[in-house]
Amino acid sequence: MPDLSPQAQAVLNALLEAKFGKGAVELGFPVMSVILGRELAAALRAAADQVVPEQSEPPCGEGEPWPQRYQLMADSKWEQRQQTRIQLLTIAAELEGIND
């Protein structure tokens, strides 16, 4: 089993503890980690779609309905939401590839 990033390992550990108790993390449960990694990946992708759905970049330029300072705030929030989505999907991909 490849080494996971701290973020992916924390998600996997949380599920192992919830499902099998605290000792499960220390024991490793490698076979269950592979199975649960795929389940976690699917759940994280669904969460990303529900919480931070993929959105096209906000429009910019002439004819904007908001003053420029408000548009800049909207742009930075869009960037943060998309960064959060990327992080969730990165963890999902890592968990899905546990047995690769």
The answer to whether residue 1 sits within a structural domain is no
- Is 67 part of a structural domain of the chain? yes
Predicted local confidence at residue 46, as pLDDT:
94
Q: What is the pLDDT of residues 62-100, one digit of tens each?
A: 555 655 555 556 667 778 888 899 999 999 999 988 866
**Domain enclosing residue 67, as ranges:** 6-96
Q: Name the DSSP letter for residue 61.
A: S
pTM value?
Answer: 0.71
Segment among 7-11, 59-63, 78-82 with least mean pLDDT: 59-63
Structural domain count of the chain: 1
Q: Is residue 53 part of a domain?
A: yes
Over the Cα atoms of the chain, what is R_g? Answer: 18
Tell me the mean pLDDT in the region 31-53: 86
Residue found under tokens 């924390």: 10
Query: If you average pLDDT over residues 25-30, what whole number do you get?
Result: 74
Give domain status of residue 36, yes or no: yes
By CB atoms closer than 10 A (0-12, 13-18, 19+), residue 32 is middle
Backbone angles phi, psi at 97, to 5 degrees: -95, 20
